[in-house]
Amino acid sequence: MTELDRRRFLRDAALTVGAAGVPLAFSGRSSVWAGPLTSPSVETREALPRSGDLGGVRAATVQWMSRVPEDINIRNMSIPGTHESCARHPGNSAGFAQCQNRPLDWQLRAGVRYIDIRCQNWEDYFTIHHGRFYQNMVFGQVLQICVDFLNKYPTETILMRMQQEHSTDNDRYKRIFKDYLDKKGWRSFFHIDTSFPTLKTARKKIVLMSGLPYVDEGLPFSNGNYFSTQDLYSDPTLAKKKTVIESQLRNAIWQFDGNKMYINHLSANGAGGSTWTPWSYVKDLNPWTRKLLEGQYYYKTHRTGVIAMDYVDSPDANWDAGEIDMTASVIRLNTFKRPTLQVGKSYVIWNRGTGKALDGGTAQTSVVQWTYSGSPQQRWTLETAENGTYRLRCERSGKCLTCHPGDGATQQNSNHNTWRIAPHSDGDGFQLKLDATGTYLHTADNNKGSGVQPRLGSDATLDQYRWVFDERVQVQ
């Protein structure tokens, strides 16, 4: 197709081009990007299984957000996503322009809830690109697939990262996007705000995350005050990429900043003379990450943030596998059940507000908060005491946690240092109330520095009063 033919096709299209280049009639409408349809598009219907089943995807995965409490903020969740979500057509790129095998509607049914959409300015609409490679889609089709899905599964939400690709006119890009919202009628399908919503607010909506250029609305994806992003994509070694993936997973859990959403890209691409395509990386990184997530490294009440993947349907280096193991390994971490504790078990006890673990230190006197290291001084055994109280005994020193009013936390040999331990009202962490004083252990002024001694206070509603009991015993 010449550039002029392609221009005419995109301007006049009542057609959409399939993967094999075969035109498919598109519901008799004059243009696929003119605005939302009231019924599923032909492209969407063609992608759905003829039998009416879910194409091998379990119903529990299709509607997995229905099991998440609605008061959870989306930044506190574990969300499977795709990088370059619509980049299925490599063209003559030798595989460098392809990042997915499965279409967008399959990804959504398989549990993907974060999508990455790259838009080129073209006349008065957006075409979907990976670099210079057109991906046989326009933005209106992307929106229609998302809206069709959310209408069918209203308990779900879709986080949409958008950015300009293969064009450079930022003002035009902003103008075209606003036309999609206001002239073409898509605004009501979006949640557009500069704060992260609860799941209740986000359900049945597309949550806008605007990359560069920022469209002056929505969550600013490139702003480090909102997002902590790992995206080492340009020709990394496998060892380096694995290091940054695991580091970002630890950050999302242990160094958690409650004001940010954590984004962790498993994707990478060769540069210069490298022959490493996205698929070359996926064959190693997807199985490695899945095993990491499914292992004992993560206690099941932790968030990972968004895990953005290439070839999301390929968990075991099998091309076009059509499997959901990658999304499932992330989804299953969203277990927001009220936690229970077991006497005799050893726990790492870390603070929800600071992400630091209680540490008995080498001197075995003061107790401080410290970055998790897996050492015995950060493990505490839960022991039963009298009248419904408990002792917390440091595994290294054998001494029990205590704290005196006006002073920092310490550890002593006495068995009289007992605590009342109760789940927080929303089930996210525990409150530690010293039985002798009736006051609660907390980190000082939400200070995130290692070496700070926790103290006693009374406002147990704050995050620095929440303590998570983690069964993890070592860094793997």
- Cβ-based neighbours of 3, under 8 Å, separated by 6 or more: none
Pairing type for strands 206-210 and 190-191 reads parallel
Please give the tally of structural domains in the chain. 2
- Does residue 309 sit in the same domain as residue 380? no
What is the per-residue pLDDT for 120? 98
Give the residue from 268, 301, 331 where a domain finishes: 331
What is the per-residue pLDDT for 444? 76
Q: How far apart are CA 229 and CA 248, in angstroms?
A: 8
- For 415-470, the pLDDT digits (tens) are 778 999 998 766 678 999 999 999 999 997 667 788 999 999 988 778 889 898 87
Q: Are 25 and 42 in contact (CB under 8 A)?
A: yes
3-state secondary structure of 263: strand
Q: Are 105 and 44 in contact (CB under 8 A)?
A: yes
Residues of the chain with pLDDT under 50: 1-34, 37-56, 296, 300, 473-476
CB atoms within 10 A of CB 210: 23
Give the residue from 282, 303, 331 where a domain finishes: 331
CA nearest to 458, candidates 435, 446, 442: 442
For residue 213, whether the previous peptide bond is cis, meaning omega lies within 30 degrees of 0, is yes
Longest dimension (CA), the chain: 85
Q: How far apart are CA 210 and CA 3, in angstroms?
A: 29
Q: Is the dihedral of CA 17, 132, 319, 326 positive or negative?
A: negative
What is the per-residue pLDDT for 147? 98
Residue 353 within a domain: yes
- Does residue 239 sit in the same domain as residue 372? no
Residue whose pair of structure tokens reads 């999508």 in the numeric block: 115
Q: Tell me the residue type at 173.
A: Y
CATH number, domain with residue 68: 3.20.20.190
Residue 135 within a domain: yes
Give the residue from 278, 301, 331 where a domain finishes: 331
Q: How far apart are CA 186 and CA 409, in angstroms?
A: 55
Q: Are 425 and 418 in contact (CB under 8 A)?
A: no
Residue 160 within a domain: yes
Q: How far apart are CA 177 and CA 403, in angstroms?
A: 57
Residue 15 within a domain: no
- Does residue 370 sit in the same domain as residue 295? no
- Does residue 384 sit in the same domain as residue 277? no
Q: How far apart are CA 186 and CA 141, in angstroms?
A: 12
Residue whose pair of structure tokens reads 């398989």 in the numeric block: 110
- Does residue 280 sit in the same domain as residue 169? yes
- Does residue 394 sit in the same domain as residue 288? no
- Does residue 353 sit in the same domain as residue 322? no
Joined tokens for residue 471: 């069964």
Residue 206 within a domain: yes
- Does residue 301 sit in the same domain as residue 204? yes
- Does residue 272 sit in the same domain as residue 388? no
Q: Are 82 and 115 in contact (CB under 8 A)?
A: yes
The range of the structural domain enclosing residue 148 comes to 58-331
- Does residue 75 sit in the same domain as residue 184? yes
CATH number, domain with residue 416: 2.80.10.50
CB hemisphere CA count around 160 (13 angstroms) = 29
Residue 38 within a domain: no
Q: Tell me the residue type at 201.
A: T
- Does residue 80 sit in the same domain as residue 167? yes
- Does residue 151 sit in the same domain as residue 267? yes
What is the per-residue pLDDT for 19? 32
DSSP 128-148: EEETTEEEEEEHHHHHHHHHH
Q: Are 383 and 390 in contact (CB under 8 A)?
A: yes
CA nearest to 61, candidates 109, 101, 113, 105: 109
3-state secondary structure of 10: helix
Residue 9 within a domain: no
The C-alpha R_g of the chain, in whole angstroms, comes to 25
DSSP 395-451: TTT-PEEEE-TTS-EEEES-TT--EEEEE-TTSSSEEEEETTT--EEE-GGG---TT
Q: Is the dihedral of CA 26, 18, 10, 12 positive or negative?
A: negative
